[in-house]
Chain A
Amino acid sequence: MAETAIQEKEPLFSSKERKLLTDPLSTNNPVTVQVLGICSALAVTTLFYKALVMSVAVVFVCAFANLITSLIRAHIPKQVRMIVQLVIIATLVTIVELVLKALNYPIYKELSVFIGLIITNCIIMGRLEAFALSNKPWRSFLDGIGNGLGYGFILLVVAFFREIFGKGTLFAGSPAELKLIGKSIPSENIEYMINTAATSGWESWFSWYANNNLMVLPASAMFVIGIVIWVQRSWNKDLVDIS
């Protein structure tokens, strides 16, 4: 009887639980507000598809690392908690690496170093320290998914702008590659939607356009994230840094 009463008090998706999922997407975003997990954000955002695979991997690792840590949180001595957490994360990352290797080898080869560096992605460790060690498994799991998605969202926004302005494509490297703007080369079957090499018709209006090579450099990721933060904080004045 007592058990059912507790379950009624805590439904699977109360507003509190839903907040765990939606907060990291905006007001408590791991990248732009908590400042965690920037390193990999810079390296994998040159291509949208790479960023997408990376986001999925991080959501998976973050959610399950949170779940497992929360399940055994009562048995972890405080002094060795970091090593325990890291072993959990490293195991999950190894799983991701092997699965990716089996499913999609080309993208695995492109990402290989950064799949390994998910271990040192501060978001995961940060959430384990700040949330999973003191909360119930289901809530920790949702928190992990929410934070993974919040990270992935920023990654995708940055990658979107960097790929379009840096290369003129979208989803390059995947089967669904879109060539948006650039110089078509008919002899090599490269055709862009807006062909800047065209000499007549409306496409010739774009003949001045050239890809911005700055967007391919890692430094540009800093600028794009800076601008994302600017936009977000202009929207939500509560986040403005008063210090």
Chain B
Amino acid sequence: MDFINLFLKAAFVENMVLAYFLGMCSYLAVSKTIKTAFGLGLAVIFVLAITMPVNWIINEWLLADTGIFGTDLTFLRFILFIAVIASMVQLVEMIVEKFSPSLYNSLGIFLPLITVNCAILGGSLFMVSREYNLGDSIAFGLGSGFGWFLAIIAIAAIREKIRYSNVPPALRGLGMAFILTGLMGIAFMALMGIKLD
């Protein structure tokens, strides 16, 4: 039950994009069509769900002073976390390039840039500061990935529809996406502070 709660909380109440505004760069740039948004969203879920437990193991077994080295190595946390994330993203890049070249081309530079998606490093850092255990970190990784996926699908759907509306030319595209995200963020603010226990 705890895992389901944590999953729902990470996906809806504390949505990475709409409550913390993490991972905005690729969220704004790849949300022009639902198809590419869907592909990137899946990639982010995958990377988050894998890096979270791996980083948990690294943090507890290698870096903490109760780990195998017996000394406090937490100053290496940033570099090790980002190295794990980067290798996972490289893996995903290879998989996507192999199985879906068209998606690979349409994602372009934003596929390697998942590495620097703040949501992923931010997720690992939240996990450390909130002292999750291994099971929690898996549920949290899946939940926040799913929340990010939902947010990018939602904005992509709105942007596809808004193309038929009469928006001032200078605000078309990116400018409107910013304002929409701000509105969605205010809407999600209503969910903040809700406890699911």
* A interface with B by C-beta (< 8 Å): 32, 35-40, 42-43, 79-80, 82-83, 86-87, 90-91, 93-94, 113, 116-117, 119-122, 124-126, 129-130, 217-223, 225-227, 229-234, 237, 240-243
Contacts and interface: CB of A to CB of B under 8 A. Distances in A.
Nearest to A233: B170
Contacts, number: 138
Interface of B: 21-26, 28-29, 32, 78-79, 82-83, 86-87, 89-90, 109, 112-113, 115-118, 120-122, 125, 168-176, 178-179, 181-183, 185-186, 189
Contacts of B183: 219
Given A218-B21, A233-B169, 15 more contacts: A32-B174, A40-B118, A80-B90, A82-B86, A86-B82, A120-B121, A122-B25, A219-B185, A222-B179, A225-B178, A226-B175, A232-B170, A237-B170, A240-B169, A243-B173
Nearest to A222: B182
Nearest to A42: B21
Contacts of A87: 79, 83
Contacts of B25: 35-39, 122
Contacts of B32: 243
Contacts of A90: 78-79, 82
B189 A219 contact: yes
B16 to A, nearest CB: 10
Contact of A229 (B87, B125, B174): B174
